[in-house]
């Protein structure tokens, strides 16, 4: 299978995603320049973390207008897999591919540390290699990761089981102290109704090796690989 990692001006974690996929999972990966149209066959497009356009406006508000984003929307509409990490999650929300919004952390400070998240659903291409209720230890590093959605949207998220990861403590409980940024309902990541677009604030690519403190992040990427294998070697976009 083949991955595309979009480089926006101000992306910071594109190399981390690239290296994690290439070195740890032996995947084929290409960088995609934000000014180019989305062309070529890809199984999964990744929108990496960083500060696209400096995030001087709302996070992700500018990047959604990048030329490549039109192709990403079409790709997603055709069922292509799209993964947004941190700033990528924010961009997907701004682009309307995912519900809700990410606002300033409750502490009003940037937060960088490792957190535990709990896998809530495993019937998606991003979580299928895991077990329901499994804990993953992943780094977060963001200033605006407080997830918000209006009550109707939240209800729909529950009904459709779109909340894929929640912030929990080491024992898997959703205690207030385990919520690092004040996210609604401890939400760390959600998918769309079609379950082919997933955004999360934690960084799986920075938890891909024991020497860096753990390899729980591989679970997300290997889920995608497993899902694509099951669907056959078919790419979603020509």
Partner 1 sequence: MARLSAKQFPQPPVSADTIASHGFSEEEYRRIVQILEREPNFTELGVFSVMWSEHCSYKSSKVHLKLLPTDGPAVLQGPGENAGIVDIGNGLAVVFKMESHNHPSFIEPYQGAATGVGGILRDIFTMGARPIASLNSLRFGAIDHPRTPYLLSGVVAGIGGYGNCVGVPTVGGELFFDESYNANILVNAFTLGIAEKKRIFTGKAKGVGNPLIYVGAKTGRDGIHGATMASEAFSEESEKRRPTVQVGDPFTEKLLLEACLELMKGDCLVGIQDMGAAGLTSSAAEMAARGGTGVELDLSRVPLRERGMTPYEMLLSESQERMLLVAKKGKEEQVKRVFERWDLDAVVVGKVTRDRLFRAFFDGAEVVRIPVAALTSEAPVYTRPAERPQSQDDVQRLDLEKIEEPADLGAALKRLLDSPNVASKEWVFRQYDHFVRSNTVVAPGADAAVIRIKGTEKGLALTVDGNGRYCYLDPYVGGILAVAEAARNLACVGARPLGLSDCLNFGSPERPDVMWQFSQVVQGMRDGCIALGVPVVSGNVSFYNETDGVPIYPTPTVAMVGLLPKVVRHVTPWFKSPGDIVVLLGRSREELGGSEYLKVIHGLAKGTPPWIDLRLERAVQQSCLKAIDKGILHSAHDLSEGGLGVALAECCISGPEKPLGARVEPREMMRGDARLFGESQSRIIVSLKEKDLNRLREIAEKEGAPMQVIGEVGGSRLVVHPLIRLPVDELKSIWTNGLEKRLK
Footprint of partner 1 on this chain (CB under 8 A)?
9-13, 15-16, 19-20, 23, 35, 49-51, 53-56, 109-114, 139, 141, 143, 203, 205-206, 208-209, 211-213
Q: Please report how close the Cβ of residue 135 comes to partner 1 at its closest, in angstroms.
A: 15
Residue 193 falls in the annotated catalytic set = no
- Is the backbone of residue 213 left (phi > 0), alpha (psi -120 to 50) or beta? left
Question: Using an 8 Å Cβ cutoff, are 194 and 172 in contact?
Answer: no
CA distance 156 to 148: 13
Closest to partner 1 by CB, 107 or 175: 107
Active-site hit among 34, 142, 186, 203:
203
CA distance 61 to 59: 6
Q: Please report how close the Cβ of residue 13 comes to partner 1 at its closest, in angstroms.
A: 6
Please tell me what DSSP assigns to residue 39: -
Closest to partner 1 by CB, 83 or 149: 83
Closest to partner 1 by CB, 120 or 205: 205
Residue with tokens 């690239």: 18
Closest to partner 1 by CB, 78 or 212: 212
Q: Please report how close the Cβ of residue 164 comes to partner 1 at its closest, in angstroms.
A: 21
Active-site hit among 86, 93, 146, 228:
86
Active-site hit among 59, 191, 205, 228:
205
Residue with tokens 């409980």: 173
DSSP letters, 77-135, are HTT-EEEEETHHHHHHHHTTSSSSEEE--TTSS-EEEEEEEEE---SSTTTTTS-TT-E
Residue 203 falls in the annotated catalytic set = yes
Residue 34 falls in the annotated catalytic set = no
Task: Name the residues annotated as catalytic.
Answer: 86, 203, 205
């Amino acid at each position: 299978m083949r991955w595309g990692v979009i480089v926006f001006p101000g992306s910071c974690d594109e190399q981390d995603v690239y290296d994690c996929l290439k070195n740890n999972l032996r995947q084929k990966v290409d960088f995609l320049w934000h000014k180019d149209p989305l062309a070529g066959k890809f199984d999964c497009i990744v929108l990496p973390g960083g500060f696209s356009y400096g995030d001087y406006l709302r996070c992700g508000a500018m990047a959604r207008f990048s030329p490549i984003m039109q192709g990403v929307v079409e790709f997603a509409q055709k069922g292509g897999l799209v993964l947004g990490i941190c700033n990528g999650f924010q961009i997907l929300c701004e682009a309307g591919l995912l519900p809700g919004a990410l606002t300033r952390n409750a502490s009003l400070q940037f937060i960088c540390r490792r957190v535990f998240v709990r896998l809530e659903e495993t019937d998606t291409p991003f979580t299928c290699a895991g077990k329901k209720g499994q804990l993953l230890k992943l780094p977060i590093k963001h200033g605006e990761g407080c997830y918000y959605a209006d009550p109707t949207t939240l209800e729909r998220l529950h009904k459709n089981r779109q909340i894929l990861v929640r912030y929990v403590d080491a024992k898997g409980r959703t205690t207030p102290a385990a919520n690092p940024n004040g996210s609604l309902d401890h939400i760390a990541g959600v998918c769309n109704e079609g379950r082919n677009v997933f955004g999360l604030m934690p960084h799986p690519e920075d938890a891909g090796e024991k020497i860096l403190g753990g390899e729980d992040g591989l679970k997300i990427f290997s889920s995608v690989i497993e899902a694509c294998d099951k669907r056959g070697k078919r790419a979603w976009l020509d």
